[in-house]
Amino acid sequence: MEVSDPKKIKNILIVEDNEELATIYSNWLEDGEYTVDIAHSSSECLEKLSDKTDLIFLDRRLPRTTGGELLDRIGAKGYETAVVLITRLRPDIEIVQRSFDGYLEKPITEVELIQTVQTIDDRSEYNETIREWVKIQNKISLLEDVMSEKRQENSTFLQELYSYCNELEEEIGNKNQEITGLFVTPHRIGVE
């Protein structure tokens, strides 16, 4: 296993406009000894976000903006914080083209939330190439879950993801067998 600046997740920001749901998530995570802050809007998220933020759980639907737009703003500010989207929305190419580390479909359980934190934390033990490969594999999985076989074959974007994934696999070599536990998996979305 290649190690590159391991980082343990301690500080989590929950961005969720539903105050009751945000509090539930926060309580679950604080029981896991994480420091948790809550933002109910994109502007509040950007105010609370700092270099100390290790992970953001981000609702895709926020007042006056979308989670995708907020992802772009977070990236534009230079933050390299891990982001997991939590939503009732089906993933689409527009959101999958953005940079994020996981995608959870509501409703989620306490176990799924805690496991997701642990999974993202485990990824930090690997080098950037392996972390990128995992992100791309997650995106491929999301799109395959919601696209028919015909749409998959005709999707230029998905074909580009396959190609990029193959390039990363060549660079990684045979290490991909030891990293299968690094995927955020609790998305339950049917094929259209």
Residue 107 per-residue DSSP state: S
- Contact between 62 and 71 (Cβ < 8 Å): no
Annotated domain spans of the chain = 11-182
Q: And the tokens for 123?
A: 């990824």
C-beta of residue 125 within 8 angstroms of C-beta of residue 1: yes
The pTM (predicted TM-score) of the whole model is 0.82
Q: Is 13 helix (H, G, I), strand (E, B) or coil?
A: strand
pLDDT in single tens digits along all 192 residues of the chain: 344 444 589 999 999 999 999 999 999 998 777 999 999 999 999 999 999 999 999 998 888 888 888 999 998 898 889 999 998 888 888 888 888 999 999 999 999 999 999 989 988 888 888 888 888 888 998 899 888 999 999 999 999 999 999 899 888 876 555 565 565 554 443 333
11-182 has which fold?
Answer: Rossmann fold (3.40.50)
Question: Rounded to whole angstroms, how far apart are CA atoms 27 and 172?
Answer: 38
